[in-house]
Chain A
Amino acid sequence: MGENGSKVMSAKEAVSRFINDGDEVIIGNYTVGTCMALVFEICRQHKNELTLYSQSGVLDVDILVNAGCVSRLVTTYVLRSGGKNGGGAVERALLSGSLEIEDYTNFDYNARLVAGMHGLNFIQVLEGVIPTDLFNRRGFLGENKYRVIECPYTGKQILTVPAVNPDVCIVHVQRADEFGNAQYWGAMGSVAAAALSSKRIILSCEEIVSRDVVRASPHFTIIPSFRVDALVQVPWGAHPTEVLGHYNMDSPFYGIFTNANTKADKARKWIEEWVYDCPDRESYLNHYITKFGIGALDQLRSKPFYSTPANYGAAFTSVWDENGRERAMGLTLKELEARLEERGLLYE
């Protein structure tokens, strides 16, 4: 809860209260709609020695590594800037020895979260990885990256990975109610598992909606309110990545970042301009608009394509019918009470 008794707070307050140096931090979003506003805030607060979990790094991972926040990375995929002749922060940090990495396949990484989310100790994964270096080469997890055990039922050798419960998940969704019920749709990836496996959850959303909106569409809720520690309302919170139903990827701006990311000094300058020199997302957006015009944002805005509402209706919403009679027994409350009295079932 925030100081005012609510979970709704600024990115600054959320990151400062719920992320500690040395934490295991997981980026909940997978490839799309990544929680950029929260990532930028972590950089601004110079959180360090983080073990970062990212299923699929877009610019989020490279920015955090560039900013010196990360000392260990568990991942399956990190976007490489500029193809073969390019590079990126992760590559530079590995080369200089300031970053350790542990590689998993998409499934095996996700399986660790699923095990963590359900409270299991470990989980069986797909054995096809056994001949490869994913299995054979170990980083800082060593023997505990993968273990092979005998299936107690079939006697077959099965491959397992350990559960993980990161300290904190940062994740961006389309909408949430003020209690933190988080609604997300589109590419589901491993978003729910990342959040639900974590000990704490910092949620950012494009908009806060009323509790009624959530209750009429529970199939979109991927994180229940009681798991959420902080809720940050931040329109354009994933820019320059995309949020379905809100805005598309800002490819040219993304391109400017990936261009800068290929060289350490250029990357530093980009981060200074867009992260350190903008105290929050609002000032980031103002800077963007000053530089490229509101038109550049406007052309990214989604045109609506609404999901068909699902009918959650039932035959009645009260056990008493329009004449005040209980539907099954056919009596009014008064008549029922009289019967109870008659039969001596009421205690004084």
Chain B
Amino acid sequence: MSKGYTLNELLIITCAKEIKDYQKVILGVGLPTTAGALAKALYAPHAILMMESGIIDFEPLVPLNHIADAHSCRGFSYSTDLFTTFTMTYRGFVDICFLGVGQVDRYGNVNTTCIGDYHHPTLRLTGSGGAPDFIAYAKKTVLTLRGGQFVEKLDYFTSAGHLSGGDSRERSGLFPKGSGPSMLLTTKGVFNFDPVTKEMYLARIHPGVTAEEIKKEIPWDLKIASDLSLTERPTDREIDFVRRFAPGESVGREMRTELSIQKVLNRAAEMKGTSA
């Protein structure tokens, strides 16, 4: 029996396995940056990790705070600007990118801009960042959804997935052949896209989750793979890596924030004590 893992650890490890050796990888904010570090350490030592801020070919030593975090490594191989990172992607030099999702529809179109009315939103999400540019031209895109939702119609259409399905993406003439989302990873399972209809279907479920539970969160009649399988259980080696490299990711944002604010407040209280 191998050791217990947290849900975040499972997600990071599942994500990391999508990175193959020698690939050029764009890492988005959050979970993907840790996944990239894990892949580089365990499965894809020659992968070139890149961030849109122009930090190219880096090996993180500590978890990244964001996609412009040069403090996480000791130098890197190529320092360029954001403009060039995107034109490099446009020209087809990026194999895979990872993007977070606020809302997603059945064809992998994404909203990360707002919930509700655009001009007076109920929730203003972060905005597009570079997502629409990356999903357009990376050879392959992995979407990750943690706090987001599945919808029939996006409140705002930020990033183009498979448009209206079928060959609509290819027919538009706007995207390289074969590009677009290839997988969606959520806290409950892994979805892939049908090669013909381009509609997402449930391919794997995480341990302890049922397909029924997943269907409840999805407003359309979700298709399920005939060979539906269980998400691969992380090995001790993988769990150890994530927990040592990014313990804050292992425990999750809520617990991390709570504990670190507590630490600062304790310190401030101690200072008050000494000065009084």
A114 to B74 CA separation, bound complex (whole angstroms): 29
A134 to B156 CA separation, bound complex (whole angstroms): 9
Interface flag for B147 (CB, 8 Å): yes
Closest to B158 in A: A132
Report yes or no: A107 in contact with B126, Cβ–Cβ below 8 A: no
Cβ contacts A290-309/B at 8 Å (1 or 0 each):
01110010000010010100
Cβ contacts B107-144/A at 8 Å (1 or 0 each):
00000010000111111111111111101110000000
CB of A33, distance to nearest CB on chain B (Å): 9
Interface flag for A336 (CB, 8 Å): no
Report yes or no: B53 in contact with A189, Cβ–Cβ below 8 A: yes
A31 to B69 CA separation, bound complex (whole angstroms): 9
Interface flag for B52 (CB, 8 Å): yes
Report yes or no: A134 in contact with B132, Cβ–Cβ below 8 A: yes
A128 with B260, Cβ < 8 A, contacts A78-B124, A305-B74 known = no
Instruction: Please choose the segment from A161-169, A205-213, A245-253, A316-324 that sits at the chain B interface, where 4 or more of its residues have CB less than 8 A away.
Output: A245-253
Report yes or no: B127 in contact with A132, Cβ–Cβ below 8 A: no
Report yes or no: A255 in contact with B53, Cβ–Cβ below 8 A: no
User: Which of B66, B79, B158, B260 is A188 in contact with, Cβ under 8 Å?
Assistant: B79
Q: For A137, list chain B residues within 8 Å (CB).
A: 118, 156
Beyond the given pairs A56-B129, A189-B81, A292-B268, 11 more chain A to chain B contacts, judged by CB atoms under 8 angstroms and listed by A's residue number, are A30-B53, A78-B127, A103-B113, A105-B130, A126-B133, A132-B159, A134-B128, A187-B51, A187-B70, A190-B83, A296-B264
Closest to A243 in B: B71
Q: For A244, list chain B residues within 8 Å (CB).
A: 70-71
Report yes or no: A103 in contact with B127, Cβ–Cβ below 8 A: yes
Cβ contacts A74-107/B at 8 Å (1 or 0 each):
0111111001100110110011010011011111
CB of A254, distance to nearest CB on chain B (Å): 9
A32 with B69, Cβ < 8 A, contacts A76-B129, A105-B130 known = yes
Report yes or no: A97 in contact with B253, Cβ–Cβ below 8 A: no
Report yes or no: B123 in contact with A84, Cβ–Cβ below 8 A: yes
Q: Which A residues form the contact surface with B (CB < 8 A)?
A: 30-32, 55-56, 75-80, 83-84, 87-88, 90-91, 94-95, 97, 100-101, 103-108, 110-111, 114, 126-134, 136-137, 139, 185-193, 242, 244, 248-249, 251-253, 255-256, 259, 291-293, 296, 302, 305, 307
Q: For B264, list chain A residues within 8 Å (CB).
A: 252-253, 255-256, 292, 296
A244 to B58 CA separation, bound complex (whole angstroms): 15
A249 to B62 CA separation, bound complex (whole angstroms): 13
Report yes or no: B129 in contact with A131, Cβ–Cβ below 8 A: no
Report yes or no: B133 in contact with A133, Cβ–Cβ below 8 A: no
Q: For B147, list chain A residues within 8 Å (CB).
A: 83-84
CB of B8, distance to nearest CB on chain A (Å): 14
Report yes or no: B174 in contact with A128, Cβ–Cβ below 8 A: yes
Cβ contacts B168-182/A at 8 Å (1 or 0 each):
000010110000000
CB of B219, distance to nearest CB on chain A (Å): 18
A97 with B53, Cβ < 8 A, contacts A77-B128, A110-B83 known = no
Report yes or no: B119 in contact with A139, Cβ–Cβ below 8 A: yes
Report yes or no: A255 in contact with B69, Cβ–Cβ below 8 A: no
Show 10 residue pairs from A and B whose CB-CB distance is below 8 angstroms, ordered by the A residue. Answer: A79-B126, A80-B126, A95-B121, A107-B86, A107-B130, A128-B135, A129-B136, A131-B174, A187-B53, A291-B271
Q: For A32, list chain B residues within 8 Å (CB).
A: 53, 66, 68-70
Within 8 A of A (CB), among B177-227: none
Interface flag for B67 (CB, 8 Å): yes
Q: Which B residues form the contact surface with A (CB < 8 A)?
A: 51-55, 65-71, 74-75, 79-83, 86, 90, 113, 118-133, 135-137, 147, 156-160, 163, 172, 174-175, 253, 257, 260-261, 263-264, 267-268, 271
Report yes or no: B120 in contact with A133, Cβ–Cβ below 8 A: no
Closest to B130 in A: A106
Q: For A97, list chain B residues within 8 Å (CB).
A: 120
Q: For A79, list chain B residues within 8 Å (CB).
A: 126
A31 with B53, Cβ < 8 A, contacts A252-B264, A256-B264 known = yes
User: Which of A91, A105, A192 is B132 in contact with, Cβ under 8 Å?
Assistant: A105
Q: For B65, list chain A residues within 8 Å (CB).
A: 242, 249, 251
A296 to B81 CA separation, bound complex (whole angstroms): 32
Q: For A251, list chain B residues within 8 Å (CB).
A: 65, 260
A293 to B266 CA separation, bound complex (whole angstroms): 12
Report yes or no: B253 in contact with A83, Cβ–Cβ below 8 A: yes
Report yes or no: B157 in contact with A80, Cβ–Cβ below 8 A: no
Report yes or no: A133 in contact with B157, Cβ–Cβ below 8 A: yes
Q: For B172, list chain A residues within 8 Å (CB).
A: 130-131
Closest to B90 in A: A126
CB of A20, distance to nearest CB on chain B (Å): 27
A83 to B267 CA separation, bound complex (whole angstroms): 26
Q: For B120, list chain A residues within 8 Å (CB).
A: 94-95, 97
Q: Which of A77, A87, A136 has most B Cβ within 10 Å?
A: A77
CB of B117, distance to nearest CB on chain A (Å): 9
Q: For A90, list chain B residues within 8 Å (CB).
A: 124
Report yes or no: A134 in contact with B158, Cβ–Cβ below 8 A: yes
